Amino acid sequence: MSNLYGDFNQKIDYVFKIVLIGDSAVGKSQLLSRFSRNEFSLDSKSTIGVEFQSKTIVVDHKTVKAQIWDTAGQERYRAVTSAYYRGAVGAMLVYDMTKRQSFDHIARWLEELRGHADKNIVIMLVGNKSDLETLRVVPTEDAKEFAEREGLFFMETSALEARNVDTAFLTILTEIYRIISKKALVANDEPESGGNATLLKGTKIVVPGQEPDTKPAKFSCCASS
Ligand code: GTP
Ligand code: MG
């Protein structure tokens, strides 16, 4: 799939904001650095506040810029919650398949997500660290069942071995694109309906310091590529 990636000098057709959530140390930041830069670090530090990375891909001949936001799993390091979720059209709910507690907490993360995000947000449950199969405590079946019950996509990944990481992000981005392009079609048929407003709203990204007519979000830090 590497031919889908790269730097494009052409215009961006869509910007999709995706948020990463889940307990501390499940591997959110490493999934992000694997996807955006193809890098991995075994001694990665806990995230403080909010960071994001972008990556541009092509879906159906359209240029889609994924802007992926990453925050701290640890409560005390988390930034303003509603600002984090605002405008997100996709979410990855990450647990560590070697830590039962991180899976048990998924229901709470999902509740927070549903309380703050757009109701049409595309959500994927991600069981990370699949390279540690011998230490697995969360059976694939349990996670699959949970995902089916809650209407989520599901995938097991390894940021360390780059297993399923691209596939997970591409699945979510393609699904968002599918929903948005379908809504745009409906909207074209019925120009008065405004039926695409909800999801298209998500293509507006609040970049702290770069939003001319709104107050900058109160994030402690932001890194962009
Ligand atoms: P917070 O920022 O505190 O919320 O944590 P996080 O979810 O961002 O975790 P992070 O990406 O910093 O990873 C935590 C630890 O798990 C680090 O030591 C990583 O190297 C390790 N790790 C992340 N992904 C994997 C993986 O797929 N396999 C293995 N074996 N270790 C991983
Ligand atoms: Mg982190």
Contact indicator for 59, 89 with CB cutoff of 8 Å: no
pLDDT over 70 at 47, yes or no: yes
Q: Is residue 131 in some structural domain?
A: yes
In the chain, % of residues over pLDDT 90: 69
Tokens (6 digits) for 187: 């909207």
218 within a domain of the structure (yes/no): no
Instruction: Find out whether the beta carbon of 198 lies less than 6 Å from any atom of ligand 1.
Output: no
At 176-185, the pLDDT tens digits run 999 998 877 6
Q: How many of the other CB atoms lie within 10 Å of CB of 110?
A: 18
The answer to whether position 3 is within a domain reads: no
Residue 70 lies in a domain: yes
Q: Is residue 135 part of a domain?
A: yes
Query: Which tops the pLDDT comparison, 41 or 193?
Result: 41
Average pLDDT over residues 34-59: 94
Cβ(27) – ligand 1 distance below 6 Å: yes
We report the CATH number of the domain holding residue 57 as 3.40.50.300
pLDDT at 216: 38
Interior CA angle at 60 toward 59 and 62, to 5°? 65
Residue range(s) defining the domain that contains residue 54: 14-198
As a whole number of angstroms, the distance between CA 34 and CA 42 comes to 12
Is the pLDDT assigned to residue 205 strictly greater than 60? no
Atom 30 in ligand 1: which residue has the minimum CA distance? Answer: 129
- 95 band by pLDDT with thresholds 50, 70 and 90: very high
The fraction of the chain above a pLDDT of 70, given in percent, is: 77
Domain-embedded: residue 149? yes
Provide the domain count of the chain.
Answer: 1
Work out the average pLDDT over 2-17.
69
- pLDDT tier, 85 (very low <50, low <70, confident <90, very high otherwise): very high
More confident residue, 56 or 189: 56
pLDDT of residue 15: 95
User: What is the 27 CA–ligand 1 centroid distance (Å)?
Assistant: 3
Q: What is the Cα–Cα distance from 94 to 170, expressed in whole angstroms?
A: 16
Is 162 domain-assigned? yes
Asked whether the CA dihedral 25, 70, 224, 130 is positive or negative, the reply is positive
The neighbour count for residue 74, using CB atoms within 10 Å, is: 13
